[in-house]
């Protein structure tokens, strides 16, 4: 149990809903925090639960994960040349770039020079194709103090590399456990509720992250050249 909820049951329900309704999806991207405390048994269970997904599954890392344990228990997890859980691949609508924004030992994020160099290379490789970015931590403050306290520490570096790049058509975010949409440096972004617990819309200055019992979601993204539609699906409702 996690914050009074059963994450295994909720993830199983999510995967079953995807298998039933979206088996034709091009890909499934899971935006990190695959386990709560990087427990090896949780990674084994995660692997078993997502196995029925018929489409390619692309994994990312969150602040609750640990790179070495994640890679040990889920060997298909991607790796860049420096061991960060970053990957990029081409799709019919452009290049997807999945970034590792984790600072191990901290709930906040970082994006060091090694990762920045990898990102610059991926952006160059994309040429004139459209680009879709995926990050666990938002690269900006979202206005909810308890979330911004565990936000991205290297916002300026990320902004310098991707800000204003008109090829980037959307930024998909994890970490905030809330639906958010807007734009940052000219880039449209979205986040959604998580599969287990949520973070309430609470604007007080708190030294902890409160939890809410708002229902879980996943996103279904319809993409075509010049159009991205993000649907927020409350799969238990
Ligand atoms: Fe997170």
* pLDDT single digits (tens) 86-107: 999 999 999 999 999 999 999 9
Q: How remote is the CA of residue 176 from the centroid of ligand 1, in Å? A: 7
Q: CA separation (Å) from 181 to 119, 120, 171?
A: 23, 25, 10
Ligand 1 center–CA 33 separation, angstroms: 6
Question: d(Cα 188, Cα 167) in Å, to the nearest integer?
Answer: 11
CA distance 105 to 165: 31
Burial class of residue 237 (count of CB atoms within 10 Å of its CB; 0-12, 13-18, 19+):
exposed
For residue 80, the model assigns a pLDDT of: 98
Q: Which pLDDT score, from 0 to 100, does residue 170 have? A: 98
pLDDT per residue as tens digits for the range 152-167: 999 999 999 999 999 9
Ion ligand 1 residues within 5 Å by Cβ: 33, 62-63, 175
| 200 pLDDT higher than 90 | yes
Q: Residue 218 C-alpha to ligand 1 middle, in angstroms? A: 15
Distance 64 CA to ligand 1 centre (A): 6
What is the structure's pLDDT at 226?
Answer: 94
The answer to whether residue 130 scores a pLDDT higher than 90 is yes
pLDDT digits (tens, 9 = 90+) for 204-213: 999 999 999 8
Average pLDDT over residues 72-79: 97
Distance 233 CA to ligand 1 centre (A): 20
What pLDDT score was predicted for residue 186? Answer: 97
CA 173 to ligand 1 centroid distance, Å: 10
Across 42-71, average pLDDT: 98
- Provide the pLDDT for residue 114: 98
Q: Half-sphere exposure (CA, 13 Å, Cβ side) for 222? A: 5
Measured in angstroms, how far is the CA atom of residue 223 from the centroid of ligand 1?
25
Give the mean model confidence (pLDDT) for residues 167-186.
98
Give the distance (Å) from ligand 1 centre to CA of residue 228: 24
Please provide the average confidence, as pLDDT, over all residues in the chain.
Answer: 97
> In the chain, what are the domains?
7-233 (3.60.21.10)
Q: Report the separation in Å between the CA atom of 131 and the middle of ligand 1, taken as the mean of its atom positions.
A: 23
């Amino acid at each position: 149990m996690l914050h009074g909820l059963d994450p295994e049951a909720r993830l199983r329900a999510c995967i079953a809903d995807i298998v039933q309704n979206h088996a034709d999806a091009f890909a499934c991207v899971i935006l990190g925090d695959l386990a709560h405390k990087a427990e090896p048994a949780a990674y084994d269970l995660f692997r078993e639960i997502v196995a029925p997904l018929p489409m390619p599954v692309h994994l990312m890392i969150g602040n609750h994960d640990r790179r070495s344990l994640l890679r040990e228990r889920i060997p298909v997890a991607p790796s860049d040349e420096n061991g960060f859980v970053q990957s990029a691949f081409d799709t019919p609508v452009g290049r997807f770039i999945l970034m590792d924004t984790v600072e191990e030992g901290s709930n906040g994020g970082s994006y060091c020079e090694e990762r920045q160099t990898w990102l610059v290379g991926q952006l160059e490789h994309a040429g004139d194709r459209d680009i879709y970015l995926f990050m666990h931590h938002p690269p900006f403050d979202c206005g909810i103090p308890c979330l911004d306290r565990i936000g991205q520490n290297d916002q300026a570096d990320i902004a310098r590399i991707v800000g204003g790049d008109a090829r980037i058509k959307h930024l998909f975010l994890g970490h905030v456990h809330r639906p958010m949409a807007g734009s940052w440096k000219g880039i449209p972004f979205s986040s959604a509720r998580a599969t287990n617990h949520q973070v309430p819309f609470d604007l007080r200055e708190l030294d902890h992250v409160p939890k809410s019992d708002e229902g879980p979601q996943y996103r279904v993204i319809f993409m075509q050249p010049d159009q991205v539609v993000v649907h927020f699906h409350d799969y238990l409702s």
